[in-house]
Copies of this chain bind each other. A is one copy, B any other.
Amino acid sequence: MSPRRRDAESTAAARAERRAELLATAAEVFASRGYAATTVREVAEAADMLGGSLYYHFDSKESMVDEILSAFLTELWAAYDKVTGSGLGARETFEALIVESFRTIHRHRPAVVIYQNESKHLATSPRFSYLTESQRRFREMWLAVLDRGVTDGVFRADLDTGLIYRFIRDTVWLAASWYRGDGRLPAEEIARQYIAMVLEGILTT
C-alpha cells in the first residue's frame, strides 16, 4: 500500500467520520425542535460552525434528514430480516421483533423521533418514497406474524389483527419520545414488560 493511497484512505475515512458526527448532531437537533422548525443555522451552531459551512458536507437540509433516516432504516431492516429469517414460531418471532425494536430505539433515538414525527410529511416527496415502502413492509411483516399466530392457535382470534398491529406500532415507536438511555429501565427491561403486557392480553388462555 503506497503512502499516497493510505492518505487518500485516511482522508476519506476522516471525511466519513466527520459526516457521521455532523449527522448525529443534526439528528439530535431535528428530533428536539422538529425538522421544519429547525434552521440550518441552528444545526450548524450545534456543530460549532457557521450556517454556510454545512454545505461543504451536505447538499441541502433535506439531504441531511435523508441520510439520517435511511441509515436508521437500513440498520433496522437488517435486524428485522435476521429475525424473520430464523424460522422461529409466531410467539418467538413476536418477542424477538419487539426486542429488536427497542434495541434500535436505544441506538438511534433521535432518528426514530424524526421518523415518527416527520415521515408522514416527508413521504409526499418522491425522494422519500422509501419511507412509504418501509411502512408497507413493516405492516406486512407484523400482520404476517399476527395472522400466523392466530392460525397456529397461539393468539386470540376475536381481536382485529389490523387494530393490534396499529397499537403495537404506535407504542413501540412513540417510546422513542420518552425513552432515556440513562433511566432506571434499560431497553431490554422495557421490552420484557411490554411483551408481558401485550402477550398475556392477546394469548389464548
Q: Is the CB of A190 within 8 A of B170?
A: no
Point out the residues of chain B lying under 8 angstroms from A154, CB to CB. Answer: 203-204
With A34-B121, A171-B167, A190-B163 already in contact, the answer to whether A203 and B199 are too (CB < 8 A) is yes
Q: Is the CB of B204 within 8 A of A156?
A: yes
| Bound: A175/B160 CA distance, A | 15
Q: Please, how many residues of chain A have a CB less than 8 angstroms from a CB on the other chain? A: 41
A48 contacts partner chain B, Cβ-Cβ < 8 Å: no
Q: Is the CB of A198 within 8 A of B200?
A: no
Point out the residues of chain B lying under 8 angstroms from A120, CB to CB. Answer: 177
A143 contacts partner chain B, Cβ-Cβ < 8 Å: no
Q: Is the CB of B153 within 8 A of A166?
A: no
Point out the residues of chain B lying under 8 angstroms from A34, CB to CB. Answer: 36, 121
Q: Digitize A177-205: 1 where CB-to-B-CB distance is under 8 Å, 0 elsewhere.
A: 11000000100001001101111111111
State which of B166, B185, B197 has its C-beta within 8 Å of the C-beta of A202: B197
Which of A34, A158, A164, A201 neighbours the largest number of chain B CB atoms within 10 Å of its CB?
A: A201
